Chain A
Amino acid sequence: MNGVLQSLLDVFREPSVIVGLIALLGLLLQRKSASDTIKGTIKAFVGFLVLAAGAGVVSGALTPFGDMFQHAFGVQGVVPNNEAIVGKVLTDYGSQAALIFFFGMVVNVLLARLTTFKFIYMSGHVALYLAAMIAVILIANGFSSWQAILWGSLAQGLITTLSPALVQPWMRRVTKNDTVALGHTGNFGIATSGLVGKYLGDPSRSTEDLKIPKGLGFLRDTTVVIASSMGLIYLLVTLVAGPGYVERELSDGQWYLLWAVMQAGKFAAGVFIILAGVRVVLAEIIPAFKGISEKLVPNARPALDVPIVFTFAPNAVLVGFLASFVGGLIGMGVLVAVGGTIIIPGIVAHFMTGAASGVIGNATGGRRGAILGAMTNGLLITFLPLLVLPFLGDVGLQNSTFSDADFGVSGLLIGGAVNAGHIAVIGLVVCGLIATFAASAIVTRRRAAEPTEPAEEPQPAS
């Protein structure tokens, strides 16, 4: 009997199997054919193993980077990149993260069904990363697996339901309707940008009246951007660390500058593999989530990934990215002056969340709104990750971390509560649930008091 139980526990300790089972459940609920069901289950299972393999490649490039940075500057250097850190986390806490991700979707659908916050978080990749972060914070600070899954799933469901609500007032201005929402872990920074634009900007002078040269299309090729930006960072740090140290301790005698370029290439290769793994896993899970949520919450707004706003204001995309990146550089400068761990601007995060901040900031406050709003986002995603690092246990020592503002805010809330005791986390989650239902009741009552607007909206896209 013990043997059977032990085998079963082994199964649940293997995250790839959990992910395969979640996919299987989704495929069965969609009533897919037997062959599609078997194929999808196997692909999700293997996809997770692909992701784990990529994590190894990224670690191989990040570990010497950390040593070298420490040698060169005497402090820890951290490059925030979601894919880079989530690979490592999912290798260590994958089963719990996968289950938080899964039950988080259930909680999201239930909250959207029962409250006025009718947002369905369709961006599975960032939801998976969020679940991974929650799993680390809870388990590294002493929660048992099942407790982490219970409270983590509720927290995950709350965050994924409420985060789109933060940006929705600004989204209405961008898209000119109320049928889609923004679903990304950068939402807190993006919403802040809207607020900054509203109070400090001037909506009459839009970024879109500017003449900005094109030709930055290469910025959209993730592999090229990561390899080149990491190449620059590796080269700079290698030059400071010096050929003697690098060739003796790290490169096994290889010419130090070539070694630096190779490490950057390996980092980009690892992220490429992780992205491929995440893509395969989600391809088998998200369609079921979409189908089920559409049935259960027919009037929901799908919360979609940030590129949906990019086409509304192409100039603001570029302005926002640059302003956010400048914010990241300013933040790094402050950290260098203060001493201690240094957050190096992660270019992907500054692009994705900075560009969206630019579009939203432009909608509320024109050029000035786009610049100041996105710069605020850049500062947020420099300082928030730093504050969350201590809650991440061993993961905090990996020289990479979760990059976007929502990770920072929810990480600080959950991490702070964990430090105060397990009961504080439970209290936080329960209060969050009560507040959500209370806010929903108030909004519903207020809406009932107002005359209803004529509903003339285009067909939702998702």
Chain B
Amino acid sequence: MSWNFEKPLVTLCDAATNEEDKKLWEKEDLGGITEDNNRMPMPVVLLVVLTVLTAFAVTFPLWGQRPTAELYAGFVKAMDTPEVKAIQNDDEAMKKIVQMNKGGGIMGGRSADDMIDRHPLSMNDLRIIKPQIETLMSSGVDLGEYTVVGDRVVLANFEGNLKADGTHERKQPWWDKGYTIDIFYLSYFFIMVILLIKRLPPSTWQPRHNNH
């Protein structure tokens, strides 16, 4: 297999190999089927590039995440304030708690207000998770590492980088090693496919099928 790197974007084969390939391409009858040597149209190339970019952008874990104990820590504290205790109706009390906890803060790299809107809960839910969150608060752990799953507050199942104390980071970053692997995987794929396609005769040449 001979390689020619003079015009790598045109062909990677030497002239003799290209000539042999062209002859075979025109001569061979594959059950009455023929193939052309057209390049991929530019809109299709752009669509593939757009797909690759979108694949990363749309899968970053910025949406659809479980709420953390940190999100509801303020709720738990607010439950014991005189203003909330004075409200008899649960729905009204929850409205008040939400109002007290909104303020444009940032939590885990995202808008805390958006997270509150995305993960509403009832006073009954809050009563169930309150003692669990209080226990965590008193033990001094990072509440951002605990997620609320139904009626339980549990250590997040995400296992990230090792921390100095030998435990794993339990907060999900917007980028993880899955994306790094994807970058390498995709790069190998596109390099191999480009090499494969550039071994064909240049796309400026079209076969003449059945002499026309």
Partners in one complex: no
